[in-house]
Amino acid sequence: MATEILARRKMRISRSGLTGLVIVIFFFLLAVAVWAGWAGQNWSAADGERWASPGSTWWFGTNQLGQDIFERAVYSVRTAFEIGIVVSLLSTALGAALGAVAGWRSNTLADGTVLWLAGVLDSIPFYLFVAAVAFALQGLPWAMHVAMIATFWTATARLARAEVMKIKSREFVLSARAIGLPSWLILMRHVLPNTLHILLIQASISFVAAIKTEVILSFLGLGVQDGVSWGLMLAESTQEVLAGHFNNFLAASIMLFLLLLGFNLLSDALQDSFDPKQAAL
Amino acid sequence: MNQPALRISKLTVKSTLEPGAPAIVSEIGFDLRKGEILALVGESGCGKTKTAEAIMGLLPASHWQVTAGAIELNGTDCSDLPPASLRKLRGNEISMIFQEPLTALDPVFSCGHQVSSVLRRHLGSARNEARDRTIKMLQQVGFADPERIFRSYPHQLSGGMRQRVMIAMAMSCRPAVLIADEPTTALDVTTQAQVLDQLTKLGREYGTAILLITHDLGVVAQYADRVMVMLDGVIVETAEVENLFKQPQHPCTRQLLSYTTGAVA
């Protein structure tokens, strides 16, 4: 079905892009199943024996508390998607808004302020900054989200600014003014829609970045507070691996690897199909 | 015919980035009579386009200093109007067509959407009404299948077709004045003739006065009523078209003519 829609829209997608799409859709459905309460609900119950091997009862085995690793790994898909969606949507929206204003009013105070702010945020080592914000807002369930949104918007803002500056010198913008549209409406109606392809790709990139960052922060104990995530599973497994039990470690790593692989393949394919220079080849 | 559709007096355009440089357009003035086609000719860089953009109020104040004795549209001076009132005039009473039809339409919206949004904005038409009028408009600029053009995106159309969509957009509110800035420079000769025929036909029908900016004297001879010759930001000669070709007064005009006809001035 996906190929049909793409074909109708005259978009080409490579085989690897399609693989990525299938993987992402599979994980998304899994996340929906967790949200709906059909799967992964027993992630916290410690009702098995310690370090059971994978089998028909415990598909991926159990951890050192006797919790079902499969349930935990599946529930973590929900955590990953929740963070990915919230962070990528909000950081892309923030970046697009600030970047668009900066580009539209280039070489003004507004532009300078946005660039300065982005420069300052970019100059702080990324994980240090995110960790500092997450630490400062500790206790708030949204601390990690805020930290990521506060840093992820800069790349989107720079891209949006450059694209808006390019588009605003195009003749259709002049022609929109000749027709009598006010400035802000031209920005909303004619300039921003022309940057959507970039924003879509940026959103897919920050989705991946958000999931990776969540894992690292959770591993460091600054991430997910209530619930479970692949990062928390990896943190648990540091003890287990030393004792020779790899189930927790493998389950979290492989799931993370597959989802990121799928997303990277998909965003590469998106990038290719939106690039007019590639399309001409 | 007593009151001109557009009266310009002492219009000057200066760049604010180079304060010492001579004015791009200096103290020009002319009357555009109702329903006439007035050509503005001159070599590249003489200030034709800047004149048009200054009249339309499209030059950003950060880069350009525009002063005018008067810019009168149907007798009302609009040189000191606030931006909001100016926007109401633009596209409605006075419109403009640009040189590059290839980039003058927004690539992400259908042509029909772009034309009908002008109608909805200025005339407050409802969606369906604007759609019907747009299709009629597209028919009037010579499309045999206006329904298809309505749904088409700019990249699906040729240059000449896009320029006709631009004409439909500019003329949709039946403006009193249309400024056409080299509307056919980017088109081939056959398409050029078709587009100009449509444009002048619509102009006559709606009683729109057209300021036709061009450097093609062939176009001038065929379509214009009167002609102004511009050199270095100054209008050096204004004449009825016939007289200009018979008895060019200014050396610059003679030179322009000699390039076109191959005759030695």
CATH of the domain at A149: 1.10.3720.10
Q: Does A55 contact chain B (CB < 8 Å)?
A: no
Q: Does A280 contact chain B (CB < 8 Å)?
A: no
Q: Between B88, B98, B107, which is nearest A175 by CB?
A: B98
pLDDT of amino acid A48: 66
pLDDT band at A44 (very low <50, low <70, confident <90, very high): low
Is residue B67 within 8 Å of residue B24, measured between CB atoms? no
Report if residue A49 sits inside a domain: no
CA distance A13 to chain B (A): 21
Q: Does A168 contact chain B (CB < 8 Å)?
A: no
DSSP letter at A193?
Answer: G
Q: How do the residues of chain A divide into helix, strand and coil, expressed in percent and rounded to 5?
A: 75, 0, 25
Does A281 have pLDDT greater than 80? no
Does A105 have pLDDT greater than 70? yes
Provide the percentage of residues in chain A whose pLDDT is more than 70: 85
Residues of B in contact with A280 (CB under 8 A): none
Pairing verdict, β B76-77 and B70-73 = antiparallel
Name the amino acid, one letter, at A123: S
Report if residue A59 sits inside a domain: no
A21-30, A219-228, B51-60: which has the minimum mean pLDDT?
A219-228
Q: Which helix (H) or strand (E) is B9 found in, with range? A: strand B6-15
Report if residue A241 sits inside a domain: yes
Question: Residue A178 and residue B108: Cβ atoms within 8 Å?
Answer: no
Name the amino acid, one letter, at A76: S
Is residue B110 within 8 Å of residue B141, measured between CB atoms? no
Question: Residue B90 and residue A176: Cβ atoms within 8 Å?
Answer: no
Q: Does A106 contact chain B (CB < 8 Å)?
A: no
Report if residue A57 sits inside a domain: no
How far is residue B40's CA from residue B241's CA, in Å, rounded to a whole number?
A: 11
ipTM of the complex: 0.76
Is residue B131 within 8 Å of residue B150, measured between CB atoms? yes
Instruction: Report the DSSP beta bridge partners of residue A250.
Output: none
Question: Residue B98 and residue A174: Cβ atoms within 8 Å?
Answer: yes
pLDDT of amino acid A276: 55
CA distance B33 to chain A (A): 21
Which pTM value belongs to this model? 0.77
Half-sphere exposure of B124 (CA within 13 A, CB side): 1
pLDDT of amino acid A86: 94
Phi, psi of B85 (to 5 degrees): -70, -35
pLDDT band at A220 (very low <50, low <70, confident <90, very high): confident
Does A100 have pLDDT greater than 90? yes
Is residue B99 within 8 Å of residue B182, measured between CB atoms? yes
Does A13 have pLDDT greater than 70? no
Question: Residue B58 and residue A194: Cβ atoms within 8 Å?
Answer: no
Q: Between A170, A174, A182, which is nearest B87 by CB?
A: A182
The number of distinct structural domains making up chain A is: 1
pLDDT of amino acid B82: 82
Residues of B in contact with A177 (CB under 8 A): 58, 90
Q: Report the candidate in A170, A167, A171, A163 with the shortest Cα–Cα distance to residue A199.
A: A163
Q: Is A250 strand, coil or helix? A: helix
CA distance B91 to chain A (A): 4
How far is residue B220's CA from residue B184's CA, in Å, rounded to a whole number?
A: 12
Is residue B121 within 8 Å of residue B207, measured between CB atoms? no
Tokens of A95: 């970046």
**Overall average pLDDT of the A184-197 stretch:** 89
Q: Where are the alpha helices (DSSP H) in chain B?
A: 48-56, 83-89, 111-123, 127-140, 146-151, 159-171, 189-206, 217-223, 241-246, 251-261
pLDDT band at A277 (very low <50, low <70, confident <90, very high): low
DSSP letter at B155?
Answer: G
pLDDT of amino acid A60: 65
pLDDT of amino acid A279: 47
State the average pLDDT for chain A.
Answer: 82
- Write the CB contacts of B87 (distance below 8 Å, at least 6 apart in sequence): A180, A181, A182
Does A94 have pLDDT greater than 80? yes
pLDDT of amino acid A66: 66
pLDDT of amino acid B45: 84
Report if residue A173 sits inside a domain: yes
How far is residue B38's CA from residue B24's CA, in Å, rounded to a whole number?
A: 21
For residue A243, give its domain range.
2-40+68-280
Q: Least CA distance to A108: which residue of chain B?
A: B62
How far is residue A29's CA from residue A32's CA, in Å, rounded to a whole number?
A: 5
Name the amino acid, one letter, at A135: F
Question: Residue B58 and residue A196: Cβ atoms within 8 Å?
Answer: no
Tokens of A212: 């990776």
Q: pLDDT 10s per residue in chain B (265 long)? A: 568 889 998 899 988 888 888 888 988 999 999 889 999 998 888 888 899 989 888 888 888 888 888 888 888 888 778 888 888 888 888 999 888 877 888 888 999 999 998 888 888 888 888 999 999 999 988 899 999 999 999 989 988 899 889 999 988 888 999 999 988 887 888 888 888 998 999 999 999 999 999 888 888 988 999 999 998 888 888 989 888 888 888 888 888 887 766 544 3
Tokens of A110: 């507004």
CA distance A182 to chain B (A): 7
Query: Token pair 């729109």 is at which residue?
Result: B208
Report if residue A186 sits inside a domain: yes
Report if residue A82 sits inside a domain: yes
How far is residue B86's CA from residue A31's CA, in Å, rounded to a whole number?
A: 53
**Overall average pLDDT of the A114-142 stretch:** 85
Sheet holding B226-231, edge to edge: B94-97, B177-181, B209-214, B37-41, B226-231, B234-240
Report if residue A268 sits inside a domain: yes
Is residue B21 within 8 Å of residue B184, measured between CB atoms? no
pLDDT of amino acid A78: 86
pLDDT of amino acid B37: 93
